[in-house]
Amino acid sequence: MLDCQLDQDGNARPKRSVPRIKGFREQYEIQRLKQQEKQGPDNWVVRKFAVGLVAGIFGYSYYVYVVRLCIPMIRMEDSRLGARAQGLAYLVVFHFLFVMFIWSYVVAVWTQPGYARDVVPKTDPPQAQEEYITVAGQPYEQQQAPRHRFEAADLYRPPRRHSSRDDDVADDDEDGQGVDARGLDETLEMQERLSAAVPNADEEDRIAETAATAGAFGPAVGTVAANRSASPLPGPTTEAAAPAPRGISPAERERCQSAASTTLAGSSTRSGITFPPKAHLHKPNPADPPSSIPPTDLRRRASQSSAAPSYLHFAEPPDDYEPPKRLAVERIPRNAPVLTEQYRYDPREGIVRPYRSHRCRHCAAVVLIYNFLQYSSAYTLFLFLTLLIAQTLPLGSFPSSRPYPGADGQQLAILALSFLFLCFTGSLFAAHTRLILRNMTTIEEIGMNRMRQRERKALTSTFGFWAWRAKRETRREWDKQWGRLGREGNLWWLGSRRANWEMVMGKKKIGWFLPIPARPVHDDGLSYKPNPRFSPEGHWRPRKEWPPELR
């Protein structure tokens, strides 16, 4: 390291940061992170800057239109662009529209959007509802006997057979009868439960032969059928073959003989057990008489010929049922539970946001849904239309014999400004009118446009850019299965455009043209009725799950 790279104390000097130019994306990401980390509202100057800008522009337009255009006409000056009557008409119409604009703009500015914290009390975070899944199965008590009643070795060794020697020992010992009887009773009970839980292979074969539908679904259904049947295997059991010990009642002796005959019987009785022939291995001879056909085949043929409903029987579909068409691309709606309290809870303010409310990043508060901007948009459009007409009509009102006096530079400037604001306010007026007719907010429309873009990309990646017909047919099938995205797929669709318009603007038509509150009041910003085509959580359901009257 060189001496010039060391400071006075001999330590290495820190490297200087090299300035570099940040790209647009990097700068946008930095500003986005700052906006997310910001807790308070924007500066007062930033929030009120638009109001001052609008006031300055319209003040200048008023000066140019009234002072530079209309007053010279009324005074009949040489620089006038029209007659006195024309100037008076322009002045009256302009002042009427200008007063309407001022009225609507003041209402839009001074009316608060409605803060949720003023009408909704603070609550604790709502707890998510726990979902329990019930799995049906065999009870634990029927699967295994209590462990304290048996030793570990008893579960793996066969029960001890009784003989005459055991009976002699029991006669000599007074307590022997009770011990042997209890041990035998417990052993038999354990075997009954184990055999009921897991049947052996012979029982499964018998179930598969007698119930063909059970065997087709594997050993699980066969096990359930075996547990329900609970019929012992045939086999010769007599009292002489297995003498019961003393001290057991006749009822217990009968139960032992019926339920555990293989345990009490000798080894010679095992060979005497016969099984019915396998149905899938027996090949009946056509020359044999019908009486020689085994009963198993008769039962199988009877079960196949008869249409007796089983536990897997499903109802027949209606005659007009049409199965849904398999599509190359499926519509996947948004799965966010927007109506649940867990989703609508705002931890910053500690409240559950009302329906259709959102958190404004400029005022740092949860605001309700109100629609006042359509007034300023409409009357701003009318005002600039008047300015444009007033500036263009006088230019052609002079005869050719009279020399043209020349246009004022400020009038030309206001013409360009009027055309610019005409385009801006015209698009704004059309957008707000469309939102009212759909009963949507700007944020809700943004979410729907994102879904449209996602579907458009999926169709383009599947069919290509030029396959317009295939994409159109796919959208039609989507509409058949789910409904239209802007109507049936709208969470707040009221059924018609007129109902949506009256919900915001009111039923009285005078409120449609004057900036007065809607009468009767429908939109209070707190209570809204969701579309019944959506689930209680806010999920868009397919058409087959809609209420019958809406399908």
Condensed to tens digits (0 to 9), the pLDDT of residues 485-529 reads 889 999 999 989 998 888 887 788 887 777 777 666 666 677 788
What pLDDT score does 382 carry? 62
Does residue 412 lie within any of the structural domains?
yes
At residue 351, the 3 state secondary structure works out as strand
Is residue 467 in some structural domain?
yes
> Does residue 145 share a domain with residue 70?
no
Q: Is 356 found in the same domain as 207?
A: no
Confidence of residue 267 (pLDDT cuts 50, 70, 90): very low
Q: For position 118, what pLDDT does the model report?
A: 87
pLDDT digit string (tens) for 134-162? 555 666 556 555 544 444 444 444 555 44
The answer to whether 43 touches 51, Cβ cutoff 8 Å, is: no
* CA-closest candidate to residue 111, choices 442, 518, 498, 502: 518
Same domain, yes or no: 261 and 156: yes
533 has pLDDT over 90 = yes
Judge whether 226 and 255 are in contact, CB under 8 Å. no
Comparing 282 with 447, the larger pLDDT belongs to: 447
Q: Is residue 4 part of a domain?
A: no
Report the pLDDT value the prediction gives residue 365, as an integer from 0 to 100.
86
Structure tokens at 422: 């005409």
User: pLDDT tens-digit profile of 439-466?
Assistant: 888 888 998 999 999 999 999 999 998 9
**pLDDT attached to residue 457:** 93
Q: Around Cβ 48, how many Cβ atoms within 10 Å?
A: 12
Q: Tell me if residue 88 falls in helix, strand or coil.
A: helix
Q: How many CA atoms lie within 13 A of 208 on its CB side?
A: 18
Range of lowest pLDDT (46-50, 71-75, 311-315, 439-443) = 311-315
The pLDDT score that the predictor gives to residue 546 is: 92
User: Average of pLDDT values for 206-221?
Assistant: 50
Q: What is the chain's mean pLDDT, rounded?
A: 70
Q: Burial of 276 by CB count in 10 Å (0-12 exposed, 13-18 middle, 19+ buried)? A: middle
Asked if the structure places residue 134 within a domain, the reply is: no
Q: Are residues 352 and 493 in the same domain?
A: yes
Look at residue 122 and tell me whether its pLDDT is greater than 60: yes
pLDDT > 70 fraction of the chain, expressed in percent and rounded = 55
What SS3 state is found at 237? coil
The pLDDT of residue 117: 87
Q: Which residues contact 207 (CB under 8 A, 6 or more apart)?
A: 199, 214, 215, 222, 225, 226, 229
Please, which pLDDT band fits residue 73 given cuts at 50, 70 and 90? Answer: confident
Residues 380, 462, single domain; the answer is no
Range from 22-31, 235-244, 475-484, 488-497 carrying the lowest mean pLDDT: 235-244
At 359 the pLDDT is: 85
Residue 232 has a pLDDT of: 46
Residues 13-25, mean pLDDT to the nearest whole number: 76
Q: Averaged over 11-38, what is the pLDDT?
A: 78
Residue 534 reports pLDDT greater than 90: yes
Domain assignment of residue 292, yes or no: no
Please give the helix or strand (H or E) that residue 4 lies within, else none.
Answer: none
Same domain, 533 and 499: yes
Query: Domain for residue 314, yes or no?
Result: no
Residue 260's pLDDT band, with cuts at 50, 70 and 90, is very low
Look at residues 275, 294, 318 and tell me which one is the last residue of a structural domain. Answer: 275
Question: What pLDDT, on the 0 to 100 scale, is given for residue 526?
Answer: 78
* Most confident segment among 300-314, 359-373, 398-412, 496-510: 496-510
On whether both 421 and 488 belong to a single domain, the answer is no
Which of 237, 255, 275 corresponds to the end of one domain? 275
Its sign, for the CA torsion 389, 394, 397, 403, is: negative
127 vs 292: which has the higher pLDDT = 127
pLDDT tops 50 at residue 75: yes
Q: Containing domain of residue 513, as a range?
A: 326-369+439-551
Residues 221 and 270 in one domain: yes
Residue-level pLDDT at 427 = 82
Which of 53-57, 383-387, 469-473 is predicted most confidently? 469-473
**Beta strands 345-346 and 351-352, pairing class:** antiparallel
Residue 536 region by backbone torsions, left for phi larger than 0, else alpha for psi between -120 and 50, else beta = alpha
Most confident of 130-134, 281-285, 315-319: 315-319
The top-scoring range by mean pLDDT among 22-36, 208-222, 334-348, 381-395 is 334-348
pLDDT given for residue 282 in this prediction: 47
Which amino acid is residue 43, in one-letter code?
N
Residues 334 and 349 in one domain: yes
Could you list the beta-strand ranges (E) of 301-402.
345-346, 351-352, 358-360, 365-367
Residues 41 and 87 in one domain: yes
Let me know whether 199 and 155 are in one domain: yes
How many distinct structural domains can be found in the chain? Answer: 3
Residue with tokens 């509202």: 41
Weakest-pLDDT range from 252-266, 331-345, 537-551: 252-266
Q: Are residues 340 and 460 in the same domain?
A: yes
Token pair for 492: 């707040």
pLDDT surpasses 70 at 279:
no
Is residue 8 in a domain? Answer: no
Model confidence band, residue 540 (pLDDT cutoffs 50, 70, 90): very high
Does residue 19 sit within a domain?
no
pLDDT at 281: 45
- Domain boundary residue, one of 234, 251, 275: 275
